[in-house]
Structure formats: structure tokens, C-alpha cells
Structure 1
Amino acid sequence: MRPLTPGDVRIAACREGDLVALDRHLPSPSHPRRYTRQLAGLGTLLVAWDGGQPVGHCEVRWDGCAAAEVRGVVGDCPEVNGLFVWPESLRRHGIGTALITTAEDLVRDRSGPRIGLGVKDGNTRAAALYVRLGYRPAVPRYLDRWSYVDQDGRMHDNADPCAFLVKELG
């Protein structure tokens, strides 16, 4: 795969026809749920494209973080959720930054004063990126609880220790 620059990547809201390509190149059981949230106006699933291939995604959750301990501090502050760039060789090429910047622009367009995101404990590379982009701690510790159903129909429950960071959009 050729090296990418941020100008090579196009960011767009997911369309129904994009779900097949997402599942082929960035398999995740959350794509249909995130797209359904988008159709309901609760989120926007952003996809980073290199030509016809998805290389990253994130969701802007318009209703904010689902964790009660976060909502108690930041309310319904829109949240960047599920940021992912793949393959791993494309990380540190500006794709994650482009996704976050696009999410911030969407929130600004809706006159949102701030945006937040969670970062899993130990994910130092992501935390450094978020701080560089102007995000600051709002909730130092919470559990990000999430579930998914695997291809065999089994439910898996997860709880990741995280910090929630917020950026004022001014």
C-alpha cells in the first residue's frame, strides 16, 4: 500500500451502501448500530476513504457519552466515539486527526460550544494526539461499558477504564 497524506483521504458521512465496504475492510459489529443511530439523528458515522476503500471511521454521538458519570459532569456534550484507523500501517498519517477535525467542524456547524471523547487507560498514543489537538481532562476516570454480539450470536460485555476529555470549540 502506498504512503498516504491527509490530502489523499476523503471524509464523508456513511451512506447505506458504504456498510458493505466497511464490513469488508474494517469489520465491526457496531457499524449497523451506528448507522441506525445516524438515521435517527442521534449520531453521524464518519468514514475516511482512500479511493474506494474505507481506512477509518468514528461516530459523532450528538446525544453525548452514554456513561452516567460522564453525563453528570459534561451533560449531553457531543462525543467522538469509536475512532479507528486500519490497517495499522496507516496510523500516524493524519487520518485520525482528519476524522476528529471533521467531527469538530460538524459540531461547530450546529453551534456546539464543545466536543468530548474518551481515551482508554494505557492508550498513550491516542491520548497524546487528543492533547495535541486541544482536548483537556473533564472526567479523569470512568468505565466505558459496551457490548456486542459476535458472529456466533454470543453477547460480549466489556468495561474499559477511560478518561473523558473535552475541547472548547470557541
Structure 2
Amino acid sequence: MKRLFYSTNDLDDAELISDEVHKQGIDDQHFFVLSREDKGILSHRLHGGNSFDNTSLLATSKRAGVFAFCILALVAIIGVGLVDITMQNLLWLVLVCGVAFAAAKMLASIVCASFDSYFKDTFDRHLDNGEVIVIIDVTHDQSPKIMSQLKQHSAVSFIAESSNIESPIPS
């Protein structure tokens, strides 16, 4: 699935977008609004909150662990294929896998922290300007349809898209 991020001028626009994408099959579990106006989110019947700090919408640090595990598995598979399995070689393979995992986790964590920081700064800038952030999780099949529909709105601006792996919409 993809996660689409949009900004809009106010909660009225966000409610209009919510109604439109719900008609396209997007339910509340795949739609989230961020706004500095908590009471406004409730009065507009929107599913949302006021900051990223209380959500796991950006979970790239979790993805770093998945990436590191994939590197570990790759190194282990290659190692088993290249080395005769003896006790000494097995210990070396375990050591090499451990180092590969640690290095991949450290590198991915640094990259992911930078990514999260960039997204948070971008979204906070929009929120501080009184805008509303609309977050929509879509399947790859739904993505072109939803993006095309939202392009028709003059008050809606596309910010970014990412994966939603390991970062569910808060309930």
C-alpha cells in the first residue's frame, strides 16, 4: 500500500475530501487528518489528531529493523552457500551475520531518522501555517484514481507519498 500526504487550507476542505474518498472505498482506517484544531476535527466528523508525536504514522525506524533483518538473511544465505559448514566456519558466519546486521541497522537508522525529521519538519510547517494535513492509505490500484480526484481541488496540494509498512493509521 501507499501513503499519500496532502495539505489543504482548512477542516472544511478536509471534510469534503473525506466524503469524496470514502465514496471511492477508503474507510476511516485508511484516512487520517492532522490539524492544530482538535475540537474542529471532532466537529467535522474527521478521524485525526493534532501532532505526529502521538501517532506512529512515520515508522521508518521500524522499517530500519526490517531492512537490517533482510540484510542479515541475505548474508546468511550467501554465507551458507559459499562456506563448508563446519563448527569453525559456522561461528565465523554467525559473527559476519551479526556485524552485517549491526551495520545495516545503524546505517538504516541514521537514514530513517533523517527521513522522519524531514517529514515532521515539513508537516509541522504546514500545520503552523494553519493548514490541515490529509493522510490517505491506498492500494496501488486506488492510487491513480485518488490522486487524479484530488488534483481537481484547487485548495489541495500534494506533499509526498511513502510506504505505510509498519505504520498503521492510528485507531
Tell me the TM-score normalized by structure 1.
0.28
Q: Which protein has greater RCO, CA pairs closer than 8 Å, 6+ apart?
A: 2
**The structure with more strand, counted as a fraction of residues:** 1
Q: Which has the larger radius of gyration?
A: 2
**The structure with more helix, counted as a fraction of residues:** 2
